[in-house]
Amino acid sequence: MSDPTSGETERSGYWIELAEYDLETAKAMLQTSRYLYVGFMCQQTVEKALKAVIAKGGIFPPKTHDLVRLAELGNLNNILSDDQNHLLDELYPLSIEARYPSHKEMLSRTLNRHTCAAYITKTEAMLQWIKEKL
């Protein structure tokens, strides 16, 4: 993996490598029907891809899971499509709620093979779009 402390391009590449790894993990979790973790890894993929954009701008990304805020910091908020904004809104809670037992049961009822496969497809498209912006 790239060194996150070197130049902007390398830092950006480091975050993209992490995002790609998380997307592959989401796909593996779908194959094993671990739907809660599919959602979590899709959120992590988008978070890290957005952090790559911020790093490309020469700023070390903040420690936040707020996808909308990260899009703003990366100056992408004004060019995101409605579908992309909707995906950010859908994925953001999965970073928090997947971690806490009281939320896991509720999430487990809403996540299934169909919704998780759709999350992966949308996340993959978002990652590709962000990579094109770099």
Residue 102 within any structural domain of the chain:
yes
Rounded-to-integer distance, Cα 81 and Cα 107, Å? 26
Residue 121 within any structural domain of the chain:
yes
Rounded-to-integer distance, Cα 14 and Cα 80, Å? 23
Res 1 pLDDT > 50:
no
Query: 44 to each of 27, 30, 76, 94, how far by Cα in Å?
Result: 13, 15, 17, 9
41-67: pLDDT as tens digits: 999 999 999 999 999 999 899 999 999
Residue 2 within any structural domain of the chain:
no
Residue 13 within any structural domain of the chain:
yes
Number of domains in the chain: 1
Q: Which domain holds residue 26?
A: 8-133
Read off the tokens for 111.
């996540």
Residues 6+ apart with CB under 8 A from 55: 4, 8, 11, 12, 14, 15, 61
Residue 76 within any structural domain of the chain:
yes
- CATH at residue 36: 1.20.120.330
How does residue 3 score in pLDDT terms, banded at 50, 70 and 90?
very low
pTM of the model: 0.88
Residue 50 within any structural domain of the chain:
yes
Residue 66 within any structural domain of the chain:
yes
